[in-house]
Amino acid sequence: MRRFEGQVVVVIGSATGLGRAMAEEFARQGAQLVLADIDTNKVNEALQSVEALGAQAIAVKTDVMKREYLVALAQATLERFGCVDIVCSNAGVGEYSCSAWEKGDTDLDWVLGVNLYGTAYAVSAFIPIMLKQGQGHFVSTGSNTSLQPIPSMAVYAASKRAVLGYCEALQYDLWNADSAVKVSVICPNKVITDMPDSARNRPQNLAGRTPTAQEIARKTAFLAAGGHTPDEAAKIVLDGIAEQRFYILTNPVDAEQAQAWAAGVRDGHLVRPNYAPPKLGR
């Protein structure tokens, strides 16, 4: 028995990386799919992939920084399938590595706009539908930095910690409304994706310093050192969704680090991370 047989699943940020791997694994598990991404060429490639796996699916161009795109995505989902069972808000970007005091205004607007506002806009578009249905599952992709930030990625860490807090509050609100709608937050450790090159989709009006080829290569090597492939991570994630876990971790070491962070809160000090990020600079 395939675990997601016949369920309607929306995967936002599904053109590449973890999102595409999740979409393909959902297809193997019998889901009907709505694929959303700002990169129309690559999301159409993902569409062909899930259709080859036997899924009924559509692709919808979606800019998560603009609320109207999420509203249109929800409408397209209902028009094609009549309901929605699972929404995976997976679109995400990361700024170039530098110290917190070197971040610019456009770095804040871009990273928070995609990672946090994109999640909030997806909630506004899809949660009312789920409430009307009486069921549904909203899944947002945070990061292990949602649990413990890392050096040199202050804006990314802030956005992902905010996503976790936002989704925790969302679940509280759903409980207070006596709703059966569930929420999960994926907090993946290193996954080998093209996230280091996410500036390729950065809008011109929020332009900032673009990472050099050397910086992208360093970040890519950092992810590859002990990181999961997208397919490996997707299988772990779908297990967590099927089990309706709120926190979905891909590496148990992050739970241990969260416990160390909580002990530091209790004792009044900040715990220093026990790993080194990629070197700063060009």
Delimit the domains of the chain by residue range. 8-267
- Residue 277 in this model has a pLDDT that exceeds 60: no
Q: Tell me what pLDDT residue 49 has.
A: 98
Q: Tell me what pLDDT residue 275 has.
A: 61
CATH homologous superfamily of 8-267: NAD(P)-binding Rossmann-like Domain (3.40.50.720)
Q: Tell me what pLDDT residue 211 has.
A: 74
Q: Which stretch of 140-149, 164-173, 243-252 has the lowest confidence by average pLDDT? A: 140-149
Q: Tell me what pLDDT residue 279 has.
A: 53
In 3-state terms, what secondary structure has residue 224? helix
Angle at 162 between CA 198 and CA 118, to 5 degrees: 50
Mean pLDDT computed over every residue of the chain: 91
DSSP 8-class letter at 144: G
pTM: 0.93
The answer to whether the CB of 48 falls within 8 A of the CB of 33 is no
